[in-house]
């Protein structure tokens, strides 16, 4: 069975050596010294490795079951959920006003990686709740906030998001779920929603569904969509739970993975709903939740890759098979451990350099969110908004690839379910799909985000890369191994951007045909930048005479691998982008 | 539920327009005119799409079950297996002497693709039998051939291959299964084998296990391994079935996919076995089977990609979501079909250009095998031997990627099992692992095959590419769109080969660290060559005034896509190869 050990040292490295958070002026960051973050990370490490990780396989094997309208989670989930609540984990980064611990989003992200690595299906129950909390927090009335947030802060009640219907996912304008206004100001919600993660379960007293629906008589299409709060049990004025609302579970979907999460078909039959935010502005309110969720999905890509990688390393050190081509390394054993073989090593380095780069990217991204919300920095908001589709799409695509590579290290043993490596792959697969399939992320990036504010944010990104290179190119080793490759990759990205500007006007397909390639190109540049920043930090620690030189030397070596072997993918993406739409769109639909 | 339509026109295009098989001097090819191949392909198309494809999901959902030592296959498999036998399909390319139809291996491959697309788990029962047949055919005594082959030709009895043990897969020298010589010339086989595909089932009267074991007292390691025939039921001298042999099923493995195939733990408790081939030359005899199997696994990569692609196309034409950015294409519907979106189109073109290129590669490879066996051509043998790891490794890696892309076209509907797209992915995953994991294929290619006969075969490959380019560069369109990119890719491959020669001597890790990249680089050059040959054939057909210009124009457009978007990957692989072993092997094992 797979194990999980929280990568506390690596997280602390990013927080303190790279981001230097306790020196930051972002409100709340001054408290985050190394001792403090370590104590939080260690506690999170305990509950994730000791409680949640052992339940991961249980959740996969048992799945959830629907009996007489009631959804039961897998054995052990309910007790573990209580333990998680007792530890205050769901409320780590929620508002103190509503009973949360008020820590920065950054710490929620650092801890969130651990929860995701240990048990993605389980963690989704609280992840969805955090998203619904954020949406009510941003768009709810005072009364709504007072009614729901104190209960949702720590998952006493959980939340869901209801967008998809059988005939529409991305194109929500086609939505059929209706909201009929009632004389008391509430609405009757009627319709069917599918793919509702954590849609129902036995671990919370109430479930707060956020549901997109069209108010009867409102505008056609996406402009007529509003967002509603639909609680499973109506909440009385005194806060006690009242009648069961008209919402029920149609069925639990049979999925490729995340079996421990109850993905439900939800039927709304005149259920009482309360408008959240403004009439017909449902998409705006939902996007608060979606953006939050998209970063969380990128985090899942990293989290599954990290968990799979850890187990691949263990296996590669234990499994004896063949001899090193450069000479026996385990003369007393019947064979050498497979970690001696260059192709196994290549695979492990792919994984290691990805997860460490992705972790830095996500924590940096989380710090930009804190900078936005806690310091009101609009530039930070513009930048993280630009990079959100990259975090979601690139990290989930690559995270999945890494789980496949980790599974491959096990050979045949990776294909049978006994070792749990198949589960990482199957669970990671969903991250490429939900919260907007990765093709939609690429479309959002190239079709919308690049041009926001006249391209100001992508220009700021390039300037930041350029400044970093300029400031540091006095360091020869850094220049050769990190800055020069980063410069080349960033130039590829600029050239791609120019191609879009010059050819996308003529024919927008010229830009969109390269959208997925651009998302990956951008992602590589971000990870290249992260590795350059990590290399700088590691060099500084070594120059300062650190007591742990091996740790920092390993960082440098891992970074050199990324720059030499992964970052050059930008050139291929650029070639594809520059080939434009001609070959992509050459055929009529009938020719397929 | 997914559907399957046999791509008869595309297969015939490769057989007749590209390979021009009926003009070939290979014995048996003259009979293969277009009418004849069409009639075979149409019959195979019927049974695969009407009988086997509908059972694919059934096999996945039910799996196999072991009850009181007996393995039961999923509902409908037994009846379908009888239908397949009645049609003579397993014996299509086996020897007439033993009751087969004696058609070339080429036709077995063409039909094999269809069987694999329709139902991989089912097809493995006959695939393993074909492999065991080939091994007995090549290495058996006359008596063994007479006893087993007539029954195995058409799967009255099925076969298995038993290599892996819990502690050894690739490194078979560590094998513990023992063979004790008996006074009557037979052996008593004792040991445990795992991951035995089609290890036991209820669809055949007898199962002929080919088992690797060490004869007591023989040499240590791989040099002491011999191959044995171990029938489930002992065959009496008159050919009737005698006593149950000492072999039993320990359990059925729980796997990520191919649930319809019974992957068994097999226990041999003093089972009676008969030496196949020479003492201690078991690996040689087994490799007859393995090479056969490796081509079959490459075929599975294509087959799953083709089946998944077909369903992705259907969904992309049916699913209405969003509007084309260049203007509404379905004004009377609520939205346009998603096939209008450039990123969906890119994905479908990736898939289409891969499956058509891979099909040509496999059929060309099959023709080389016929050239070897039917015409005794040693050069053909050298070439196909060189390319076998590429066919296995590259096509299964890419085939898997394509099933993931096809699944992605379905969005959330691809993740739930209802639509069957997850199954293609889960089934395709095994092809990267079994019959030698793809890292082992890459090692075989770079560490062994490249240097065979002083590099003669890879030089012959380069010459072939060069000659083809030279012969055809008078055609401007062919030159620009196909020959120039092929030349560049082939040059990348030559440069990579030179790098290995110059740096691999100094340190073999410099070659092996680039082995997977080289396997992919080689694969792309092969598919580039195939597309260049297909483009030439399509141009010729158009010049000849074909009655079906759209078909050939579509070929040209699909090929242009491959050359513009996929083939340039060779440059990235070369960059990685040229970075050598330094960054790959920089860390100590403890640093992971």
We report the CATH number of the domain holding residue B206 as 2.40.110.20
**B-chain residues near A586 (CB < 8 A):** 557, 560-561
From chain A, pick out residues whose CB is under 8 angstroms from the CB of B342.
509, 512-513, 515, 581, 584-585
Do B34 and B88 share a domain, yes or no?
Answer: yes
Asked if B434 lies within 8 A of A412 by C-beta distance, the reply is: yes
Per-residue model confidence (pLDDT) at position A292: 78
In a domain, B485, yes or no: yes
d(CA B102, CA B119): 24
Domain match, A464 and A575 both: yes
B539-576 residue pLDDT tens? 999 999 999 999 999 999 999 999 999 999 999 999 99
Taking an 8 Å cut-off on Cβ atoms, the answer to whether B438 and A408 are in contact is yes
How does DSSP classify residue B197?
Answer: T
Q: Is the separation of the CB atoms in B396 and B304 below 8 Å?
A: no
B589 min Cα distance to partner chain A (Å): 7
What does the angle CA A10 – CA A14 – CA A19 come to, to the nearest 5 degrees?
Answer: 170
Residue B285 has pLDDT above 90, yes or no: no
Q: Is residue A179 part of a domain?
A: yes
Q: Are residues B112 and B162 part of one domain? A: no
Q: What are phi and psi of A26, to 5 degrees?
A: -65, 125
Which is catalytic among the residues B435, B471, B473, B550?
A: B435
- Number of structural domains in chain A: 3
**Residues A176 and A134 occupy one common structural domain:** no
Query: Quick one: pLDDT at residue B517?
Result: 98
Q: Give Cα separations from B99 to B26, B31, B149, B150 (angstroms).
A: 22, 19, 9, 6
Q: Which of the pair, B169 or A520, is modelled with greater confidence?
A: A520
CA dihedral sign, ordered A587, A590, B1, B2: negative
Q: Taking 80 as the threshold, does the pLDDT of residue B289 lie above it?
A: no
A494 belongs to a structural domain: yes
With a cut of 90, say whether residue B192 has pLDDT above it.
Answer: yes
Task: Name every chain A residue with its beta carbon within 8 A of the beta carbon of B548.
Answer: none
Angle between helical axes of A515-543 and A549-561 (0-180°, round to 10) = 150
Contacts for B163 with CB less than 8 Å, ≥ 6 apart: B169, B172, B193, B212, B286
Say yes or no: A120 and A184 in one domain.
no
* Residue B245, domain member (yes or no): yes
Which residue among A335, A408, A509 sits closest to B171, beta carbon to beta carbon?
A335
Using CB atoms, pick whichever of B254, B344, B430 lies closest to residue A417.
B254
Q: Is A128 left (phi over 0), alpha (psi -120 to 50) or beta?
A: alpha
Domain boundary among B233, B257, B281: B281
Q: Whole-angstrom Cα distance, residue A438 to residue A442?
A: 6
E-assigned strand segments in A197-244: 206-215, 225-231, 233-235, 241-244
Residue B432 CB neighbours (<10 A): 27
CB-based contact A433 B415, cutoff 8 Å: yes
Residue A270: the pLDDT is 98
**Would you please indicate which residues of A are annotated as catalytic (active-site) residues?**
435
- CA A339 – CA A46 distance, rounded (Å): 28
Shared domain check, A185 and A104: no
Q: What confidence score (pLDDT) does residue A61 get? A: 98
CATH number at residue B96: 1.10.540.10
Q: Do B32 and B134 belong to one domain?
A: yes
> pLDDT at position B288, please?
73
Residue with tokens 């050139």: A571
Residue A575 belongs to some domain of the structure: yes
* Phi, psi at A474, each rounded to 5°: -70, -20
Are residues B23 and B113 both part of a single domain?
yes
Owning domain of residue A216: 158-281
Chain B nearest-CA distance from A149, in A, is: 30
| Whether residues A183 and A125 fall in one domain | no
In a domain, A359, yes or no: no
- Which chain B residues touch A582 with a CB distance below 8 Å? 564
* End residue of a domain, out of B252, B281, B310: B281
| Contacting residues of B for A404, CB less than 8 Å apart | 400, 429
Last residue of a domain, one of A281, A303, A320: A281
Tokens 């196949």 correspond to: B276
The answer to whether residue B450 scores a pLDDT higher than 80 is yes
Q: What is the DSSP string of A262-298?
A: --EEEEEEEEEEEE-SSTT-HHHHHHHHHHHHHHHHH
Is A239 domain-assigned?
A: yes
Name the residue in chain A with its Cα closest to that of B400.
A404
Mode of pairing for the β-strands spanning B264-276 and B178-181: unpaired
Alpha-carbon distance of A364 to A241, in angstroms, equals 41
CB contact under 8 A, A422 and B168: no
Distances (CA, A) of A173 to A152, A274, A448, B383: 29, 20, 18, 57
What is the per-residue pLDDT for B16? 98
Report which of B318, B342, B312 is spatially closest to residue B330, judged by C-alpha positions: B318
Domain assignment present for residue B346? The answer is no
Count of A–B CB contacts within 8 Å? 260
Contact A558 B587 (CB under 8 A): yes
Res. B290 pLDDT band, cuts 50 70 90: confident
Tokens matching residue A28: 């709340």
Question: Do residues A175 and A259 share a domain?
Answer: yes
Q: Do A408 and B433 touch (CB under 8 A)?
A: yes
The Cα B301–Cα A15 span in angstroms is 43
SS3 B173: helix
Looking at the structure, tell me whether residues B131 and B163 fall in a common domain: no
How many angstroms away from the CA of B427 is the closest CA of chain A?
A: 10
Residue B154, CB half-sphere, CA atoms under 13 Å: how many? 16
Per-residue DSSP letters for A69-137?
TEEEPPTTHHHHHHHHHHTT-TTTTS-GGGT-----HHHHHHHHHHHHHH-HHHHHHHHHHHHHHHHHH
Task: Tell the burial category of B180 from Cβ atoms under 10 Å away from its Cβ (0-12, 13-18, 19+).
Answer: middle
**Under 8 Å between Cβ of B410 and A250:** no
Nearest-CA residue of chain A relative to B196?
A412
Render each residue's pLDDT in chain A as its tens digit; 592 residues.
899 999 999 999 999 999 999 999 999 999 999 999 999 999 999 999 999 999 999 999 999 999 999 999 999 999 999 999 999 999 999 999 999 999 999 999 999 999 999 999 999 999 999 999 999 999 999 999 999 999 999 999 999 999 999 999 889 899 999 999 999 999 999 999 999 999 999 999 999 999 999 999 999 999 999 999 999 999 999 999 999 999 999 999 999 999 999 999 999 999 999 999 999 999 888 887 787 789 999 999 999 999 999 999 999 999 999 999 999 999 999 999 999 999 999 999 999 999 999 999 999 999 999 999 999 999 999 999 999 999 999 999 999 999 999 999 999 999 999 999 999 999 999 999 999 999 999 999 999 999 999 999 999 999 999 999 999 999 999 999 999 999 999 999 999 999 999 999 889 999 999 999 999 999 999 999 999 999 999 999 999 999 999 999 999 999 999 999 999 999 999 999 999 999 999 999 999 9
- The answer to whether ipTM exceeds 0.90 is yes
**Token pair of A122 as six digits:** 């389980």
Q: Average of pLDDT values for B469-480?
A: 97
Domain identity same for B170 and B126: no
Q: Which of A526, A512, A530, A509 is nearest to A569 (CA)?
A: A526
């Amino acid at each position: 069975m797979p194990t999980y050990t929280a990568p506390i040292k690596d997280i602390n490295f990013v927080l303190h050596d790279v981001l230097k958070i306790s020196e930051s002026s972002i409100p709340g960051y001054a408290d985050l010294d190394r001792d403090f973050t370590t104590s939080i990370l260690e506690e999170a490490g305990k509950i994730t490795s000791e409680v949640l990780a052992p339940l991961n396989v249980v959740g996969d094997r048992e799945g959830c079951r629907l009996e007489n309208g009631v959804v039961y989670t897998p054995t052990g989930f309910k007790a573990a959920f209580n333990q998680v609540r007792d530890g205050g984990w769901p409320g780590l980064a929620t508002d103190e006003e509503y009973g949360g611990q008020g820590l920065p989003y950054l710490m929620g992200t650092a801890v969130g990686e651990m929860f995701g690595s240990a048990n993605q299906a389980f963690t989704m129950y609280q992840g969805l709740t955090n998203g619904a909390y954020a949406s009510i927090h941003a768009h709810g009335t005072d009364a709504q906030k007072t009614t729901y947030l104190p209960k949702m802060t720590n998952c006493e009640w959980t939340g869901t998001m209801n967008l998809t219907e059988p005939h529409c996912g991305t194109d929500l304008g086609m939505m059929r779920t209706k909201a009929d206004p009632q004389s008391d100001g509430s609405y009757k919600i009627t319709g069917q929603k599918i793919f509702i993660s954590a849609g129902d379960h036995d671990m919370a007293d109430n479930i707060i569904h956020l549901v997109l629906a069209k108010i009867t008589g409102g505008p056609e299409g996406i402009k007529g969509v509003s967002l509603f709060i639909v609680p499973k049990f109506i909440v009385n004025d005194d806060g006690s739970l009242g009648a069961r609302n008209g919402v029920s579970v149609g069925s639990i979907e049979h999925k490729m993975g995340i079996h421990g999460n109850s993905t439900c078909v939800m039927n709304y039959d005149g259920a009482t709903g309360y408008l959240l935010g403004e009439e017909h502005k449902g998409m705006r309110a939902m996007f608060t939740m979606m953006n939050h969720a998209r970063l969380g999905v990128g985090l899942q890509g990293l989290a599954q890759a990290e968990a799979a990688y850890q187990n691949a390393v263990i296996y590669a050190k234990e499994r004896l098979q063949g001899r090193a081509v450069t000479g026996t390394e385990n003369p007393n054993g019947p064979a050498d451990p497979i970690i001696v073989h260059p192709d196994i090593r290549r695979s492990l380095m792919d994984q290691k350099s990805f997860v460490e780069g992705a972790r830095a990217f996500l924590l940096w991204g989380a710090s930009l969110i804190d900078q936005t919300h806690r310091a009101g920095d609009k530039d930070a908001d513009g930048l993280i908004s630009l990079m959100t589709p990259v975090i979601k799409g690139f990290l989930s695509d690559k995270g999945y690839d890494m789980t496949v590579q980790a599974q491959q290290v096990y050979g045949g043993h990776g294909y049978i379910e006994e070792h749990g490596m198949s589960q990482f792959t199957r669970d990671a697969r969903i991250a490429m799909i939900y919260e907007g399939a990765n093709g939609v992320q690429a479309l959002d990036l190239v079709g919308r985000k690049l041009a926001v504010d006249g391209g100001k944010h992508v220009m700021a990104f390039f300037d930041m890369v350029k400044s970093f290179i300029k400031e540091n190119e006095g360091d020869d080793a850094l220049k050769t191994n990190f800055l020069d490759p980063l410069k080349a990759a960033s130039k590829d990205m600029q050239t791609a951007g120019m191609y879009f500007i010059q050819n996308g006007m003529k024919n927008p397909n010229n830009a969109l045909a390269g959208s997925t390639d651009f998302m990956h190109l951008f992602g590589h540049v971000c990870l290249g930048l992260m590795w350059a920043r990590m290399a700088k930090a590691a060099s500084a620690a070594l120059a300062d005479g650190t007591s742990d030189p091996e740790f920092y030397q390993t960082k440098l070596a891992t970074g050199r691998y990324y720059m030499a072997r992964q970052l050059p993918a930008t050139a291929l993406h650029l070639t594809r982008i520059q080939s434009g739409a001609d070959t992509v769109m050459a055929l009529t639909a009938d020719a397929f």
